[in-house]
Chains A and B, each alone.
Chain A
């Protein structure tokens, strides 16, 4: 077996942002399903939240390569 443990660490670190992204979009879909006209209000909020949650996973990716 070859490779680096960093990638295992990155896999573990990606669990959190993965769940977070799922929760954000679940809430977004819920909101739009209940009130379709609120879509344009909810969309920026959902994507800003998604970008923030995704940022953590991306830091993990960078650290997996850098360390």
Chain B
């Protein structure tokens, strides 16, 4: 496109847009309280409680009439449980895995359901796109894996194994010790939470751009109206992509939590 043509094209869009399109931004994630001024009654908090109710009622129902020949509901519940127990806990942690299955299972289902709220009609807000939720989950995971390590090795030996990795030349400790300390006490919890937050935040923003943009194009001149179905189409395709990302992020968070626990339990790092 030549510069002149491009300028004309931009002017046409600007004329068609009227007051101009305000793209969605980080401010769209700050939702007002539902009841009065109480900051504890925002949508994400209700969604978190809804997730707890949904998950617990689903698994209580599916386990209530447990039989040798499972019903459909029991099968669904057990396959989720089996996935976390076998693929996440058993493969990663090893022979002591049964102690950590309840925690990992809670983590996985809670994150998964909260993420899926991002694409469920009428709810359509991933709880984890508010950064405080992933922070809390990461802090709990941080406490769990350090507690496990200290219980297993004793505080002194545990810290020593983190700081002085065996099998490394003595000179290299100048570099490795600060890096290892930083990794274990700062980078791990920080990245664990930020990875989940960033994915949910970016995904929700992406969907908003395409759906709000498509809606805005509909209000434009006839040429823009013709383009808007494509924006909606891409939005729908991205919704399926988001579904994949949401499942993947729940899996990765739980897998990394299991990996960190396994690392704290291991005899030599």
Contact = CB atoms under 8 A, between A and B. Distances in A.
Nearest to B262: A44
Interface residues of A, number: 12
B252 interface: yes
A62 B191 CA distance: 10
A47 B194 contact: no
B92 interface: yes
Interface on chain B toward A: helix, strand, loop, or mixed SS?
Answer: helix
Contacts of B92: 43-44
Nearest to A58: B194
B191 A47 contact: no
B195 A48 contact: no
A44 B259 contact: yes
A67 to B, nearest CB: 15
A47 B91 contact: no
Contacts of B262: 44
Contacts of B252: 47
A38 interface: no
A61 B259 contact: no
Contact of A51 (B26, B91, B198, B256): B256
Given A47-B252, A47-B255, A47-B256, A62 B194 contact: yes
Q: Please give me the 4 A-B residue pairs with the lowest Cβ-Cβ distance, nearest first.
A: A55-B191, A58-B194, A40-B91, A58-B191
Interface of B: 26, 91-92, 187, 190-191, 194-195, 198, 252, 255-256, 259, 262
Interface of A: 40, 43-44, 47-48, 51, 54-55, 58, 61-62, 65
